[in-house]
């Protein structure tokens, strides 16, 4: 028994010490400090009972070991719990003109804006929350930083140049491949180009918008002609995202929209050269609802904040999609209702949301789908105030921790056990805080390191 107590004490010490070291590398000072304190305190009762003899110490030792074993069994025994979300397929297709990005874009065209509010008078009062605010990347927004905002704009500008390349001519001769082998190649190549996950699903009508709402395609009906959808995700840098709503999170958002778009455009071009139709869906030029396609391609579930929750990185991803008619092997989707259960009890994203746009209520029914509904007008209103796309909900999500052994063990426990999920949430609050403050902006991004001088342009004399 005494040896077992000592071994248990050593295991607890090294586990929390490991936690502390990992937290140091993750720049989580508070978590590192608390883990180190636990590394010193948790083993103490075991060591006392192993090294100090007093009346009843033997029975206490066996009792402590028994309780430890019981806790491990209870927490590690498979008990996923019940499913809290049923129907996931909407009754109708969604009109892209209803999205906040479309409603913001039509401000540039007086006629379109008047037409939209004439057809949707209920939206005008809702949109008052953001119509008179500065807007994304505006110089008068509260988080404006010329360095980070202009850097983000450079990425968004590059994406704009790529939007005309999402589609193109198809080779006249079709090359025939085994669907399984081709899918395996596409998945491996996509990851080699920088994606962290990729999957394939059969396209459904409700994956597509009914009508386009952005750019030159505004008001055009979307034709649902492709049979397969290839969804891919790219990782958003945790350190940059943690600074939200400051400028670095906008830079990272733009950077990963660009990276995912570049990968998707290459895949679509590759498939067209094989003799099959293929279209990339990238930032500002979508015909599909990317999170839903990605979910049905087995890449994750839709969580409380309305974003795709991936197994490795939670919502800390950007998504692109390629739709095509080339025969592919569909990725089997195994719905993970444990994500919904964790979102139901967590509410961390709702607590930290600056605009209180993420609901704290239980799941409801919207268009026949059981899900949470974000208040998009409040969310976008905050974006238009600070000038960035915020990112607070993504950065504090417990699923957003780095993809490493320590956090993957916790993810495994969350997925495996109903009680583990509830304890893991309390532990996440203890180590990282219920409402963690935004991280500091990296020194090399800070405005004070740059001197802004407006140098007038002088035309050279001839």
Looking at the fold, whether 240 and 265 belong to one and the same domain comes out as yes
Report the distance separating Cα 159 and Cα 73, nearest Å. 51
Q: How many domains does the chain have?
A: 2
Check whether 458 has a pLDDT greater than 50: no
Looking at the fold, whether 388 and 413 belong to one and the same domain comes out as no
Check whether 462 has a pLDDT greater than 50: no
- Is position 461 within any domain? no
DSSP 140-158: TSTT--HHHHHHHHHHHHH
Helix (H, G, I), strand (E, B) or coil at 387: coil
Contacts of 6 (CB under 8 A, 6+ apart): 46, 47, 50
* Cα–Cα nearest to 144, from 425, 316, 387: 387
At 161-173, the pLDDT tens digits run 999 999 999 999 9
61 is written with which tokens?
């030792």
Report the distance separating Cα 133 and Cα 112, nearest Å. 20
Helix (H, G, I), strand (E, B) or coil at 302: strand
Q: Mean pLDDT of all residues in the chain?
A: 93
Within 178-223, strands assigned E span 197-202
- Is position 456 within any domain? no
Report the distance separating Cα 187 and Cα 319, nearest Å. 15
- Is position 217 within any domain? yes
- Is position 262 within any domain? yes
pLDDT confidence of residue 133: 93
At 1-21, the pLDDT tens digits run 789 999 999 999 999 999 999
Looking at the fold, whether 206 and 230 belong to one and the same domain comes out as yes
**Cis amide bond preceding 245, omega within 30:** yes
Looking at the fold, whether 59 and 146 belong to one and the same domain comes out as no
Looking at the fold, whether 267 and 405 belong to one and the same domain comes out as no
The residue among 376, 396, 416 that closes a domain is 396
Looking at the fold, whether 136 and 274 belong to one and the same domain comes out as yes
Helix (H, G, I), strand (E, B) or coil at 235: strand
pLDDT confidence of residue 461: 44
163 is written with which tokens?
């939007």
458 is written with which tokens?
């002088």
Residue 377 vs residues 123, 380, 381, 442: alpha-carbon distances, Å:
9, 5, 6, 31
Looking at the fold, whether 392 and 405 belong to one and the same domain comes out as no
Report the distance separating Cα 291 and Cα 268, nearest Å. 19
Report the distance separating Cα 237 and Cα 232, nearest Å. 17
Query: What is the rounded end-to-end Cα distance, in angstroms, of the chain?
Result: 95
- pTM of the prediction? 0.92
- Is position 287 within any domain? yes
- Is position 182 within any domain? yes
Looking at the fold, whether 264 and 176 belong to one and the same domain comes out as yes
Average pLDDT for residues 288-314, to the nearest whole number? 97
For CA atoms 188, 191, 197, 200, the dihedral sign is negative
pLDDT confidence of residue 450: 54
Looking at the fold, whether 108 and 148 belong to one and the same domain comes out as yes
- Is position 248 within any domain? yes
Contacts of 127 (CB under 8 A, 6+ apart): 103, 117, 377
Q: Identify whether the C-beta of residue 252 lies closer than 8 Å to the C-beta of residue 236.
A: yes
H-assigned helices in 274-391 = 290-296, 337-346, 348-352, 376-386
- Is position 440 within any domain? no
Higher pLDDT, 215 or 153: 153
At 333-387, the pLDDT tens digits run 999 999 999 999 999 999 999 999 999 999 988 888 899 999 999 999 999 999 9
* Cα–Cα nearest to 428, from 402, 404, 405, 410: 410
Helix (H, G, I), strand (E, B) or coil at 221: strand
453 phi and psi angles, rounded to 5 deg: -130, 125
User: Inter-axis angle of helices 405-416 and 57-76, to 10 degrees?
Assistant: 80
Looking at the fold, whether 39 and 160 belong to one and the same domain comes out as no
Looking at the fold, whether 377 and 429 belong to one and the same domain comes out as no
CB burial readout 115-142, b (16+ within 10 A) else e? ebbeeeeeeeebbebbbebbbbbeeebe
At 231-251, the pLDDT tens digits run 999 999 999 999 999 999 999
Looking at the fold, whether 60 and 109 belong to one and the same domain comes out as no
H-assigned helices in 26-178 = 29-41, 44-51, 57-76, 100-105, 110-119, 121-131, 146-162
Higher pLDDT, 400 or 53: 400
H-assigned helices in 195-246 = 238-241
Average pLDDT for residues 200-217, to the nearest whole number? 95
pLDDT confidence of residue 447: 64
Average pLDDT for residues 293-311, to the nearest whole number? 97
Q: Identify whether the C-beta of residue 265 lies closer than 8 Å to the C-beta of residue 307.
A: no
Instruction: Residue 31: give the domain boundaries.
Output: 2-82+401-435
Maximum distance among all alpha carbons in the chain?
Answer: 103
């Amino acid at each position: 028994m005494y040896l077992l107590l000592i071994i248990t004490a050593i295991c607890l010490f090294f586990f929390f010490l490991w936690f502390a070291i990992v937290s140091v590398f993750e720049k989580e000072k508070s978590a590192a400090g608390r883990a180190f304190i636990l590394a010193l305190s948790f083993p103490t009762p075991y060591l006392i009972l192993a090294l100090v003899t007093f009346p009843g110490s033997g029975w206490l030792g066996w009792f402590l070991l028994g309780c430890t074993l019981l806790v491990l069994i209870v927490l590690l025994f498979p008990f996923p719990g019940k499913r809290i979300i049923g129907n996931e397929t909407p009754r109708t297709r969604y009109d892209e003109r209803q999205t906040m990005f479309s409603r913001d874009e039509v401000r540039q065209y007086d006629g379109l804006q008047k037409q939209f509010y004439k057809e949707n008078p209920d939206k005008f009062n809702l949109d008052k929350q953001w119509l008179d605010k500065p807007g994304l990347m505006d110089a008068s927004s509260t988080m404006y930083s010329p360095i980070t905002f202009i850097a983000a704009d450079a990425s968004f500008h590059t994406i704009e140049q790529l939007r005309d390349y999402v589609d193109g001519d198809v080779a006249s001769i079709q090359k025939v491949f085994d669907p399984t082998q081709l899918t395996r190649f596409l998945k491996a190549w996509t990851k080699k180009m920088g994606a962290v996950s990729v999957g394939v699903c059969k396209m459904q009508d409700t994956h597509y918008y009914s009508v386009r709402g952005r750019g030159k395609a505004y008001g055009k009906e979307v034709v649902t002609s492709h049979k397969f959808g290839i969804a891919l995700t790219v990782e958003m840098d945790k350190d940059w995202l943690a600074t939200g709503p400051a400028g670095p999170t906008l830079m990272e958002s733009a950077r990963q929209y660009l990276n995912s778009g570049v990968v998707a455009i290459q895949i679509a071009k590759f498939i067209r050269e094989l003799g099959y139709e293929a279209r990339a869906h990238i930032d500002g030029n979508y015909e599909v609802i990317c999170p839903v396609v990605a979910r049905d391609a087995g890449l994750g579930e839709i969580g409380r904040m309305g974003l795709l929750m991936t197994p490795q990185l939670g919502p800390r991803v950007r998504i692109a999609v390629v739709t095509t008619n080339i025969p592919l092997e569909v990725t089997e989707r195994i719905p993970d209702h444990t994500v919904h259960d964790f979102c139901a009890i967590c509410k961390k994203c709702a607590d930290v949301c600056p605009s209180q746009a993420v609901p704290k209520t239980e799941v409801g029914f919207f268009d026949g789908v059981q899900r949470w509904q974000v208040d998009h007008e409040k969310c976008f209103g905050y974006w238009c105030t600070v000038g960035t796309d915020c990112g607070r909900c993504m950065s504090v999500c417990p699923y957003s921790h780095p993809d490493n052994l320590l956090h993957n063990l916790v993810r495994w426990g969350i997925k495996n056990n109903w009680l583990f999920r509830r304890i893991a949430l309390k532990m996440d609050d203890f180590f990282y805080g219920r409402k963690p403050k935004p991280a500091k902006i990296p020194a090399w991004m800070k405005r004070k390191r740059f001197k802004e001088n407006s140098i007038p342009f002088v035309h050279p004399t001839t």
